[in-house]
Amino acid sequence: MKVLLVNPWIHDFAAYDFWLKPIGLLYVARAMEWMGYEVHLVDLLNRHDPDLPRFARVPKDKRYGTGKFPSQVIEKPEMLKSVPRRYKRYGAPPEFLEWKLREIGNVDLIMVTSTLSYWYPGVWETIRFLKSRYDVPIVLGGVYPRLFPEHAKKSGAIVYEKGDLVFLPSFLESLGFPSKEIPADWFEVFDPMYELYNRVGYLVFITTLGCPFRCSYCAVHRLWNGLRVRTPERVVETIEKYLNIFKVEDVVFFDDAILASGRFKDLLKLIVEKRWPVRFHLPNGIHARLLDEETAFLLKEANFRTIKLGYETSGRLQRETGGKVYDEDLVRAARILRKAGFTEKEVSAYIMVNMPGQTKEDVLNAIKVCLSEGIGISINEYTPIPGTKDWEKLVEEGKLDPDIDPVLLNNTVLPFWWKYGMSYEEIQEIKNFAQKLKKSEVYREFP
Ligand code: B12
Ligand code: SF4
């Protein structure tokens, strides 16, 4: 039995390859191999595919293997017509997909993944394309169908609504496909199946699934029950295995709560011992309160180059959204990291703009806190996510239609129509201010 796994196109006003790898799909690949399938992968977002330059001009890598995707301007969906920006298909062009499918030939089953729900138009286009070439069942899984199952069913694919892979065998059986029980500890024993790639520009891993916190704007607790932790020994084994196959210089951890695992220091110690000639990155905000000096020094010794702290906002919303971090936690973490030798180029804090109830002052104060501690700023625009406390409150107050088309929840689009948040101009002003600060001399005053 032959299965084709596809990482679909992104349709958006902007998208950047900030170490995007379909790690969930690579676990699905391993599970399918475990069940005896012959597995093939088409990753339309792999900028480092050696065949891609024959089909598109591929922008050169920027920092640490990140970079711009090839893109094509496409027509905006009706609902986005009033947004005065160009809408694009990001990733390999359709001719590349056509060629790949010809190379792979007939398959028995197709599986498509998805991450951000508001990227669904790219998922749907990919599914339409596949349907026009194959007459086999297409299964859609990932974050989008888990958050918007009913909407995802309109894609024309059969939807896998679960996160955990232990449910995959019975799902396949229900479709008439062969299966075999998946080990309950698959997250420990399975490696994400990177060997399906010819070339990658970096490697992305996760060492934990889930998060013990319950922030009111975040869906992670709905996606994963509790916190699952992979043993440091297995993580190191996996990294080593793939560093031997791919000559990459950057290794990235995408965890939501890596410091909450209770095993991170052990992992860092093992990484330090290995002395691999690579840089490490933590692009998904870590918990400032959980950072201690020993961890900071180990991060430095292990050659971490990107550390993002989850800060989100200053002011009363810190408590109201769940109390994950307070100013004093951020300040403490920033100082510890500076003491360990990190600079503002390596450490920055995520600040969210346009959270319900947030004022411009909350954001500006948060920026000032970062500034005074000599750490960088990464501005994120808020988007409501189903299943979160924020979503439920907004629906209850009549400020959000629960049946909204997910494309309108694109964080770039929200300020153009949502009258309960900040205006496009206000957000732009904040972003310009942050941009100016980044370029200014202010940060250089810090040792
Ligand atoms: C990594 C990540 C990113 C990465 C890139 C994601 C990527 N690879 O494309 C980056 C850093 C770019 C990112 C950015 C953002 N993200 Co993000 N991100 C994540 C994160 C932390 C991990 C995703 C992941 O790899 N999970 C681990 C794998 C194992 O899980 P999985 O993909 O679900 O796969 C499992 C199952 O779903 C299933 N499966 C997956 N595919 C398939 C396919 C088939 C056929 C089957 C059967 C099964 C199956 O099997 C897998 C194993 O169990 C999630 C949170 C989370 N923990 O899921 C948020 C998350 C997806 N992000 C989220 C958000 C909000 C954002 C931002 C918008 C934040 C912001 N406000 O700025 C930005 C977007 C900026 C932009 N416009 O680009 C939200 C999604 C909201 C939504 N409506 O979709 C999430 C859920 C976090 C949250 N806050 O609640 N993100
Ligand atoms: S925002 Fe971070 S700390 Fe809060 S629940 Fe989500 S993953 Fe956990």
pLDDT at 401 over 50: yes
Are 356 and 393 a contacting pair, CB within 8 Å? yes
User: Which three-class secondary structure state does DSSP give residue 17?
Assistant: strand
- Ligand 1 neighbourhood includes 46 CB (under 6 angstroms): no
Residues 68-86 have pLDDT tens digits of 999 999 999 999 999 999 9
- For ligand 2, atom 6, the nearest C-alpha belongs to 218
pLDDT at site 434: 86
pLDDT at site 442: 57
- Ligand 1 neighbourhood includes 139 CB (under 6 angstroms): yes
What distance in Å separates the CA atoms of residue 286 and residue 207, rounded to the nearest whole number? 13
- For ligand 1, atom 27, the nearest C-alpha belongs to 24
pLDDT at 444 over 80: no
pLDDT at site 92: 98
Number of Cβ within 10 Å of residue 134's Cβ equals: 16
117 CA → ligand 1 middle, Å: 9
Q: What is the dihedral of CA 138, 144, 148, 150, to 10 degrees?
A: -10
48 CA → ligand 1 middle, Å: 21
Backbone CA torsion sign across 87, 91, 96, 98: negative
Pocket test for ligand 1, best of 45, 116, 171, 414 (most atoms within 8 A of CB): 116
Q: In what order do the strands lie in the sheet with 71-73?
A: 10-12, 88-90, 71-73
pLDDT at site 441: 54
The DSSP code sequence of 167-215 is GHHHHHHHTT----PPPTTHHHHPPP-GGG-S--SSEEE-SEES-S---
276 CA → ligand 1 middle, Å: 28
- For ligand 2, atom 4, the nearest C-alpha belongs to 215
DSSP H helical ranges for 287-359: 293-301, 317-320, 327-339
Q: What are phi and psi of 347, to 5 degrees?
A: -115, 130
223 CA → ligand 1 middle, Å: 10
- For ligand 2, atom 7, the nearest C-alpha belongs to 256
Q: What is the mean pLDDT of residues 317-335?
A: 96
Residues 169-225 have pLDDT tens digits of 999 999 999 999 999 999 999 999 999 999 999 999 999 999 999 999 999 999 999
Residues 115-147 have pLDDT tens digits of 999 999 999 999 999 999 999 999 999 999 999
pLDDT at site 447: 35
Residue with tokens 């996160």: 163
- For ligand 2, atom 2, the nearest C-alpha belongs to 256
User: Which three-class secondary structure state does DSSP give residue 397?
Assistant: coil
Q: What is the mean pLDDT of residues 426-433?
A: 90
**Which domains does the chain possess?**
2-185 (3.40.50.280), 202-438 (3.20.20.70)
Ligand nearest to the CA of 323: 2
140 CA → ligand 1 middle, Å: 14
What is the per-residue burial (b if ≥16 Cβ within 10 Å, else e) of 298-324? bbbebebbbbbbbbbbbbebbeebbeb
- Nearest by Cα to 188 from 229, 240, 142: 229
pLDDT at 446 over 80: no
What distance in Å separates the CA atoms of residue 101 and residue 254, rounded to the nearest whole number? 30
Are 376 and 422 a contacting pair, CB within 8 Å? no
What distance in Å separates the CA atoms of residue 342 and residue 340, rounded to the nearest whole number? 6
Are 409 and 117 a contacting pair, CB within 8 Å? yes
With a pLDDT cut of 70, the percent of the chain lying above it is 98
Residues touching ligand 2 (Cβ under 6 Å) are 211, 213-215, 218, 220-221, 256-257, 310, 324
